[in-house]
Structure formats: structure tokens, C-alpha cells
A and B are shown apart, each in its own frame.
Chain A
Amino acid sequence: MATHNSLGHEFKKGLWADIHPFRVLLGLCPALAVTNSFVNGLAMGLAALFVMVSANVIVSVFRKLIVSEVRIPAYVVIISSLVTITDLFLAAMFPAISKALGPYIPLIIVNCMILGRVEAFAAKNPVLPTVMDSLGIGVGFTISLCIMGGLREVLGFGSIMGFQVLGSWFEPWIIMILPAGAFLVLGGLIALVNYINDKKAAKAS
């Protein structure tokens, strides 16, 4: 029963307590760069989720074979091979998305979130908890990107996934789809997360 509980916990912590872009402040480059629309955020989130889970599983399986002196190069080679697979897959199946995300797909390699999880969790834990941990963090990351992408798209274009949701009275805030908007939205969301936490802490005490 204990293991069952902890597996659920490994998954859930990625969704709120350790949600990466807002709390741990890792994996920020893609979170800021590609979230100018909901679809782009979702695609980037799923791509990172795939690389995250597979890299963690592979490292976890081979964790006893990888010598600790060369572990970082080994991880990087594993991650970059997986990213190459993702990149080629997207280019073949979803050329439009692949074009929109551009060099940010290969940049998943240096996403510190993935290397951080591999180093901190997969290298020390068996496969099953690793799967739950990386799934949780990856899903949390995808959700964060969708929230940011959705928010910026609504404010910047008045639409969600290309559908107009706000009427013609709405004057689009162009700033939101520009780089500056990404910083402003992320700053605001971090403040919101802090606010909810403070409220929760106040209630608990």
C-alpha cells in the first residue's frame, strides 16, 4: 500500500507542488518562447513530455551501468538522440507545427528541466517511480504551457485555437503575442501562484 501511495505522490507533485515553470523556474526558455498560441504551447508541452519520460526511463534502466564520472555526457547523448527523433517525427507528420516551433524543438536538449529530473530522480530510482515522476512533471509542464499560450492568444488575438471567442468590440493587445508579453504573463502567473499558496498557508495555520 505504501508503494501505491508514493507512486501517486510522485505523479501529483509535478502538477502543483513542483510545477516546473512557475515554481522551480526551470524549463523557462520554451515556456516563454513558443507560448504565443495555445496550439504551439500544447505541441511544445507534448514534445517535451515525450523526451522527458523516455529519457528518464532509459537512464533509470541503465542507471547501474552508467559510470558516474561520465554521466552528464551520457545523459546528454541520450536526450539529444530522443530530441532528434522527436524533431524528425514532427517534421514528417506535422510540418506546420514543426515550422512554428523551429529551433525550439532542438533546444529541448538543453532544457534544464529534463537534465535536472534525470540527474535528481531517474539516476537514483527504479523504473516505476521514475515513470510516475517524469509523467507528473511533464504533464505539469504541458499544462503550464497551455495556460500561458491560451492566455496570450485570448488577449493578443481574441481567439483560442484559431476560433474567435471575443467579439469585434475587443481590441487585441498586440503586446501579448510579442516577446515582452511573455515575460509579463509569466511574471503575473508566478505572482498568482504565490498568492494562492499564501492563502492556502494562511488557511492551514
Chain B
Amino acid sequence: MVKLLMIFISASLINNFVLTYFLGICPFIGVSNKTENALNMGFATTFVMTLTAAVTWPIYHYILVKFNVPYLEYVSFIIVIASLVQFVEMYVKKSSPSLYKALGIFLPLITTNCAILGLALFMVLRDYGFLESIVFGFATGVGFTLALVMMSGIREELEFADVPKVFQGASITFLVAGLMALAFMGFAGLIRG
């Protein structure tokens, strides 16, 4: 239990995927201009991440390792993720049209979110068990949502700020992200040993 909690805190705050591993930067910059969009994107991503962890773990351990073909890891993971996103999209569309409308174009975009593949790779690399992997997937999603929502809040304020011309747009966004990464380094003391 303690280990699961540690994984949760570590993946969502200390080793935040966006701010320390730079995974999922594209949506982080792309859809962080409005808080509402950021929140929806965060939820969709968290959902797919948890599911990805739950599906890729058995595939890696019961198929790839068993048949001694771990070099097919990348090909099989990416296919699984792409089809998973497709299935989720179809399911959500049928079962809850209102949620589908809210998530809209964000669902298909998730396939190309490198944080999802990164999650599956880190899970294998760190040798997590099944339950740990699911917690890791969920926590990573929470961390992603947190970073995205905070960034969108700052960017909404930035619209009223007087930014020098050459720094406008992407440049100031990265500088803000840098300061956020600095702030998140403060969480490093949360877990000792």
C-alpha cells in the first residue's frame, strides 16, 4: 500500500511527466490556452493512460516475454495504443454522446501523445507489477492534467500581460514552463529514501 502511494506521489508530482521527462509537450503547448479544454484533455488522457497500463502490462509479460520476442515491444505497443484510443472513441460516442462532444477532437489526438507510449515504456523499464502499473498510469494522468490546467490558468492571465514582441507566443510559454518546472523541483523533498 505504501509503495503504491509512493508511486502515485512520485509520478504525479515529483517526476511529473510533462515537467521532468518532457513527455506530452505537444498537447501541453497546443491545448493549454483555455482551462476548460485543458481539463477535458486531461481527463481523456488520464482515462487512456490508465487503460493503456492495464492492457500493455499483460501483453508484455504474457505474450512478448513468454514467446521471447521483446524486440517487438515498440511495434506492438504503438498498435495497441492506437487501436485502444479508437475503441474508446467508438465506445464513448455510443454510450455517452455528451461526453463525446466534450472530449471532441481531443480523443484521436491522444494517440500521438508521446506520454502514453512513454508510460508503457517506463512501466516495462521499472519492472512494475500489474497493480503498480495501473496506479502509475493513473498518477501520470493526474500529473499531466495538473500541469496542463495550471499552464492554461497562467496563459489566460498572460493574454492581458504586456509581453515584449519577440517573446510572444511559444517563447513566453516555454519560459513559463521552465519556471513551473523549477517550482515542481520543490516537491523532490516529499519522499525520502
Contacts and interface: CB of A to CB of B under 8 A. Distances in A.
Interface residues of B, number: 43
Q: Is the interface of B mostly helix, strand, loop or mixed?
A: helix
Nearest to A175: B182
A198 B165 contact: yes
Given A33-B21, A181-B178, A194-B166, A111 B114 contact: yes
A125 interface: no
A186 B169 CA distance: 13
Contact of A191 (B71, B166, B178): B166
A110 B114 contact: yes
Contacts of A83: 74
Interface string A107-127: 101111001000000000000
B75 A107 contact: no
B174 interface: yes
Interface of B: 19-26, 29, 71-75, 78-79, 82, 112-114, 116-118, 121-122, 125, 165-175, 177-179, 181-182, 185
A89 interface: no
Contacts of B116: 110
A182 B19 CA distance: 10
A178 interface: yes
Interface in A1-51: 25-26, 28-29, 32-33
A183 B23 contact: no
A112 B165 contact: no
A110 B181 contact: no
Interface stretch (A61-69, A74-82, A133-141, A165-173): A74-82
Given A25-B29, A76-B82, A178-B185, A184 B112 contact: no
